[in-house]
A = this chain, B = another copy of it.
Amino acid sequence: MATKHHAHSHKQEKVDAEDALRNAGLKVTKPRLAILDLLASEHGPFTPDEIHVRVTQSKAAGACDLVTIYRCLAKFEGLSLINRCDFGDGTVRYELGGKDHHHHHIICRLCKRVDSLPDCPVEDKSIKMPKTGFRDVSHRLEFFGICPDCYAG
């Protein structure tokens, strides 16, 4: 599913992230580069464990402890380099993030496949934000269903 998210090249995304690390006074280490590299090359989102497996198996020498994955992800999230997804199954997932990456997902209840939905119906317009008196309102929106592969097969 090629979408607007591929406006930048993967290599460019990674370079941007590296710069962001430097600008924030963070050290550029092999594990951090490996994680950013992965997230720039595959949309995900990935659990910390999935990231750990891929980064460790990759020949790109980013192997590290799972704890390091957690700590890097926490730093990245703090810098808004990545976004956290929570699909309500006991673990969290991450994908490349930042201002212009806001979007939502539809998850297959059977095979757990995750598709990204290019447009946000909330900002977009259609949803009428209820007037609650709250400020700085953000939202979390996920769809769940049965994907074509699952109801066909």
Query: Which residues of A does B touch, CB under 8 Å?
Result: 84, 86, 88, 106, 108-109, 115, 117-119, 121-122, 125-130, 132-148, 151
The answer to whether A148 and B125 have CB atoms under 8 Å apart is no
Considering the complex, give the chain B residue whose CB is closest to the CB of A92: B88
The answer to whether B134 and A130 have CB atoms under 8 Å apart is no
Other-chain contact of A132, B109, B126, B130, B145 (Cβ < 8 Å): B145
The answer to whether B141 and A145 have CB atoms under 8 Å apart is no
Q: Which 4 A-B pairs have the closest CB atoms?
A: A134-B145, A137-B145, A126-B126, A121-B127
Tell me the bound Cα distance from A110 to B129 in angstroms: 20
Given contacts A88-B86, A127-B122, contact A137 B132 (CB under 8 A): no
Other-chain contact of A141, B132, B140, B151 (Cβ < 8 Å): B140
Tell me the bound Cα distance from A129 to B108 in angstroms: 16
Tell me the bound Cα distance from A133 to B115 in angstroms: 11
The answer to whether A108 and B128 have CB atoms under 8 Å apart is no
The answer to whether A106 and B121 have CB atoms under 8 Å apart is no
Considering the complex, give the chain B residue whose CB is closest to the CB of A149: B133
Considering the complex, give the chain B residue whose CB is closest to the CB of A148: B133
